[in-house]
Copies of this chain bind each other. A is one copy, B any other.
Amino acid sequence: MKYTELSTLGEFGLIDLLTRNIKHKNNSTLKGVGDDAAVLDYHQKKILVSTDMLIQNIHFDLTYTPLKHLGYKSVAVNASDIYAMNGTPRQITVALAVSNYFSVENLEELYSGIYLACEHYGIDLVGGDTTSSKTGLCISITVLGEANEEDIIYRNTACENQLICVSGDLGAAYMGLQLLEREKVVFQGDKKVQPDFTGYEYILERQLKPEARKDIIELLREKNIRPTAMIDVSDGLASEIMHICKDSGIGCNIYEEKIPIDYQTFKMAEELNMNATVCALSGGEDYELLFTAPLDKYDLLTALPSISVIGHTCKASNGYQMTTRDGNTFELKAQGWTNFTTTEKNEEKKS
């Protein structure tokens, strides 16, 4: 692959190169890249704003993360926050710090992933900042989205005796990460050995190229189901359920057997001598939607293959409970994304 040093272009040349093919998709984008600020027009719609930062060797490892996938993922995780408010993402700004050892071609690769995700989610890239770093790659994306005020769904509006539902399946992204970390060690030990991912394509994709659940938002609208509270699952199911419950002043009971877990996730967990339920509860990076809904939507919701009803809300004094497969109950604990306590991402969730 060609290797052009960043210094040959300079900051302005680089920005020109990376943004020269932008075509806006949204009427709300009046002016994108190229001035002190972008100019947007949301008319009477409300503005949703969210920011996520991805740091090399904390959130991603370039040993096994293709830059295009990383670009895609960094947009998807931001879009996910807007969908979790029941809104539509419209614009992003991308702030990037890169070491000198990255080439122009590396950044084009990263941006090709960013633009692919923008295409997929209907987002315009309208601004950003590109700077050098002494220490690897840092990507900070801010996403703006729109929603009618009456459509916005917050975390703190769940009530007692409602259904707790989650889209897709959980724990797969975390198992994908564990697999990549294992194969990385194998790969580093003997350069001739190629990593073997056969049969684990799904969990790898969940880790490397997650999708924001735009489709679920559309499905719920189509079925006329309005969640009473919603959040996206970025830090693991336990942490997110507790956010909804704490903020809404209620308790919950979920059922281990109802938590949707893919076959590959189970298989990988078994291979690594881990508990698949713990991975779903605390693994994170699933970017599924967790929401509460009125009890009378039970039949409608259980008929949808992409949604699982995993429990129900109850009064606050009950706490946050999970009923296990063998009928025991225990208190949920939020581990969150405790990246201040350990140095390796893969060590965080093992404890």
Instruction: Name A residues whose Cβ lies closer than 8 Å to a Cβ of B.
Output: 6-7, 9-12, 14, 30-31, 34-44, 46-53, 55, 57-59, 81-82, 84-85, 87, 91, 93-97, 100, 126-129, 131-136, 138, 140, 142-145, 147, 149, 152, 154-156, 230-232, 247, 334, 336-341, 343
Q: State whether A35 touches B154 (Cβ < 8 A).
A: yes
CB-defined contacts of A231 to chain B, threshold 8 Å: 35-36
Q: State whether A135 touches B132 (Cβ < 8 A).
A: no
Q: State whether A128 touches B340 (Cβ < 8 A).
A: no
Q: State whether A138 touches B55 (Cβ < 8 A).
A: yes
State in angstroms the CA–CA spacing of A147 and B30 once bound together. 13
State in angstroms the CA–CA spacing of A12 and B156 once bound together. 16
State in angstroms the CA–CA spacing of A143 and B42 once bound together. 17
State in angstroms the CA–CA spacing of A132 and B338 once bound together. 9
Q: State whether B51 touches A127 (Cβ < 8 A).
A: yes
CB-defined contacts of A9 to chain B, threshold 8 Å: 340
State in angstroms the CA–CA spacing of A128 and B144 once bound together. 13
Q: State whether A50 touches B37 (Cβ < 8 A).
A: yes
Q: State whether A35 touches B131 (Cβ < 8 A).
A: no
Q: State whether A38 touches B43 (Cβ < 8 A).
A: no
Q: State whether A340 touches B49 (Cβ < 8 A).
A: no
State in angstroms the CA–CA spacing of A131 and B333 once bound together. 20
Given contacts A6-B340, A131-B337, 14 further A-B contacts (CB under 8 A): A7-B338, A7-B340, A11-B336, A11-B337, A36-B155, A37-B48, A37-B50, A37-B82, A42-B47, A58-B132, A93-B142, A129-B140, A131-B339, A140-B140
Q: State whether A37 touches B140 (Cβ < 8 A).
A: no
Q: State whether B46 touches A97 (Cβ < 8 A).
A: no
Tell me which of B7, B35, B247 contacts A341 (CB under 8 A). B7
Knowing A93-B50, A340-B7, the reply to whether A145 touches B37 (Cβ < 8 A) is yes
Closest to A126 in B: B49
Knowing A6-B340, A10-B338, A343-B134, the reply to whether A144 touches B55 (Cβ < 8 A) is no
Q: State whether A48 touches B39 (Cβ < 8 A).
A: yes
State in angstroms the CA–CA spacing of A97 and B152 once bound together. 29
State in angstroms the CA–CA spacing of A343 and B101 once bound together. 12
